[in-house]
Amino acid sequence: MNIVIVGLGVIGGSIGLALRRAGYKEVFGVDADPHTLQKAEKLGIIQKGSRDGKELFQKAQLVYLCIYPRALPAFIRENAGFFRPGTVLTDVSGIKGDMPEALPPLLPKGVDFVFGHPMAGREKRGIDFASADVFHGANYLIAPIPRNTEEHLLLVEGLARDMGFGRISRISPGEHDQFVAYTSQLPHAIAVALVNSGDPRQDTAALIGDSYRDLTRIAKINAGLWSELFLENRENLMAAVVRFELELDRIKAALEQCDTAALMDRFAESTCRREALDGAKFKQPK
């Protein structure tokens, strides 16, 4: 199968590595940076790279679009004419926003667009940090739209499985954005706020344990990408922040009232829910 990856950053590069490990050979890459292309070829992430996708797109069966969400509409507008009928495009965006309505009308007849979201990443950016391992057992969300054929959905899902993803689920684009606001963007907002609320005069490094380290790892954040993700999903994210603050207020109220029973109740609830999550971790989708 002829596959093209557009954007060889940490996610595009990891997809290339994972596909190669799964035995796919005809994998090509498009990136604006010639050094990135050179590296990708040298590392065997792609067979051949190009700064301009035109020629590659004409032979492509599947195209992974690993560029920032806001860059997608312009990219589609500029390149739609180069895809042949039967080609499937798929994205990796952390939010879908209005793209499921806005992008399909820009595509030529016979070209499909499967919205996808590999839920694995790293706090580093760039091809140097690409790794196929981060995908192992991770979740992959597919957000079908009416245009999609079952065959094309299965194609993207099959590749996700070959790359090592664990649970591959279908969800509507609207639900996708609602839930990633809670499971992905809210944790990033929390980590950023936690780090920034510390006293900068204090030698925090000497005063922390694993819990602080784990909760703040993602406070090292790609500001350009994440401000896009936050703003494109702002209403869902604001709602998630409000729900989170209500829960935090319940803990604060229990502290104010020295209410041991209320605290224990909140802890029992979170323990039960978090244990259920661990139990579900290794289940495979049907």
Site for a copy of itself in 202-221 (CB under 8 A): 202-221
**Residue 276 is a binding residue for a copy of itself (CB under 8 A):** yes
Q: Which is nearer to a copy of itself, 25 or 124 (CB)?
A: 124
Choose, by CB under 8 A, the member of 62, 114, 120, 159 that binds a copy of itself.
120
Report how far residue 229's alpha carbon sits from residue 94's, in angstroms, rounded to the nearest whole number.
Answer: 7
**Residue 68 is a binding residue for a copy of itself (CB under 8 A):** no
Choose, by CB under 8 A, the member of 141, 143, 156, 163 that binds a copy of itself.
141
Q: Annotate 9-52 with three-state secondary structure.
A: CHHHHHHHHHHHHCCCCCEEEECCCHHHHHHHHHCCCCCEEECC
- Name the segment binding a copy of itself (CB under 8 A); options: 57-65, 103-111, 157-165, 242-250: 242-250
Report, in Å, the least distance between residue 258 CB and a copy of itself. Answer: 6
**Residue 25 is a binding residue for a copy of itself (CB under 8 A):** no
Where does the chain show beta strands of DSSP type E?
3-6, 27-30, 48-50, 62-65, 88-91, 112-119, 139-143, 168-170
Report, in Å, the least distance between residue 156 CB and a copy of itself. Answer: 16
**Residue 245 is a binding residue for a copy of itself (CB under 8 A):** yes
**Residue 38 is a binding residue for a copy of itself (CB under 8 A):** no
* Structure-derived torsion over alpha carbons of residues 240, 196, 224, 29, reported in degrees to the nearest 10: -90
Residue 89 pairs in a beta bridge with 63, 113
Q: Are 163 and 132 in contact (CB under 8 A)?
A: yes
Backbone angles phi, psi at 147, to 5 degrees: -60, -30
Report helix, strand or coil for 143. strand
Question: Which residues have CB under 8 Å from 33's CB, separation 6+?
Answer: none
Choose, by CB under 8 A, the member of 63, 111, 114, 138 that binds a copy of itself.
138
Choose, by CB under 8 A, the member of 19, 134, 143, 155 that binds a copy of itself.
134
What letter would DSSP give residue 62? E
Report, in Å, the least distance between residue 56 CB and a copy of itself. Answer: 29
Q: Annotate 95-117 with three-state secondary structure.
A: CCCCHHHHCHHHCCCCCEEEEEE
Report how far residue 91's alpha carbon sits from residue 69's, in angstroms, rounded to the nearest whole number.
Answer: 9
Q: Which is nearer to a copy of itself, 5 or 240 (CB)?
A: 240
Give the number of other Cβ atoms within 10 Å of residue 31's Cβ: 26
**Residue 124 is a binding residue for a copy of itself (CB under 8 A):** no
Q: Which is nearer to a copy of itself, 42 or 223 (CB)?
A: 223
**Residue 32 is a binding residue for a copy of itself (CB under 8 A):** no
**Residue 180 is a binding residue for a copy of itself (CB under 8 A):** yes
**Residue 171 is a binding residue for a copy of itself (CB under 8 A):** yes
Choose, by CB under 8 A, the member of 119, 127, 143, 153 that binds a copy of itself.
119
